[in-house]
């Protein structure tokens, strides 16, 4: 009976342990490099982190799910509109498969973007959420931004004269 209780206890302990997906650390490092390259406004390097076939969610009001070409233009728009862009993560979290709820190696993060509007010279800082899903080669295949992109753009518009 003692052995049975020991095995049940051991089984319960192991089933409750939080084992990380084996690709999470690799994908986390890729995510950090991606944010750095975006802040450096190196569009070609930023896009090199993505697979050829992607789906990326725009943060703008009624923003579409974009393919790689559209995502490149979306990022270029941010680079053209803002200077001294930087992302300061509050945390990085493991993501899960939406169908199974199991860890899948994806990365989620909450943090603050800051920078300066090219047109007005006004500074901004805003809290955002991002998610990135990776393929077996460590390339981003799915991702998106959640933040008040429209409000951010409106807040740094040049003053009316």
Closest CA to 39 of 5, 4, 89, 2: 89
Encoding tokens for residue 144? 């998106």
Calculate mean pLDDT across residues 67-91.
96
Determine the topology of domain 21-155 in CATH. Nuclear Transport Factor 2; Chain: A, (3.10.450)
Express each pLDDT in 83-142 by its tens digit.
999 999 999 999 999 899 999 999 999 999 999 999 999 999 999 999 999 999 999 999
pLDDT value, residue 8 = 66
Looking at residue 67, its pLDDT comes to 98
pLDDT of residue 152: 87
Phi, psi of 143 (to 5 degrees): -175, 180
**Residue corresponding to tokens 């993505």:** 50
Token duo for residue 5: 């209780």
Cβ-based neighbours of 132, under 8 Å, separated by 6 or more: 27, 31, 34, 95, 106, 107, 108, 140, 142, 143
The token duo for 61 is 């009001």
Q: For the segment 8-47, what is each residue's pLDDT rounded down to a tens digit?
A: 665 555 455 568 889 999 999 999 999 999 999 999 999 9
Q: Which residue(s) pair with 57 in the sheet?
A: 65, 144
State the greatest distance between any 2 C-alpha atoms of the chain, in Å, as a whole number.
84
* DSSP secondary structure letter of residue 99: T
pLDDT of amino acid 20: 83
Quote the pTM value: 0.84
What is the rounded distance in angstroms from the CA atom of residue 12 to the CA atom of residue 3? 14
- Residue 78's pLDDT is 94
Residue 153: band (very low, low, confident or very high) from pLDDT cuts 50, 70, 90? confident
* CA-to-CA separations, 116 to 28, 79, 106, 119, 121, in angstroms, rounded: 27, 11, 30, 9, 6
């Amino acid at each position: 009976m003692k052995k049975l209780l020991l095995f049940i206890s051991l089984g319960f302990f192991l089933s409750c342990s939080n084992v990380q997906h084996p690709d999470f650390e690799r994908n986390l490092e890729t995510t950090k490099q991606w944010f750095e390259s975006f802040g450096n406004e190196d569009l070609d390097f930023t896009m090199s982190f993505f697979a050829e076939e992607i789906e990326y969610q725009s943060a703008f009001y009624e923003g579409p799910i974009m393919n790689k070409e559209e995502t490149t233009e979306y990022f270029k728009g941010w680079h053209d509109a803002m200077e001294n862009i930087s992302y300061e993560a509050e945390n990085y979290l493991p993501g899960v498969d939406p169908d199974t709820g199991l860890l899948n190696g994806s990365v989620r993060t909450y943090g603050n973007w800051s920078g300066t509007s090219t047109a007005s010279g006004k500074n901004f800082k805003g809290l955002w959420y991002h998610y990135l899903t990776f393929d077996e080669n460590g390339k981003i295949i799915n991702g998106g931004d959640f933040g008040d992109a429209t409000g951010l753009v409106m807040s740094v518009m040049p003053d009316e004269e």
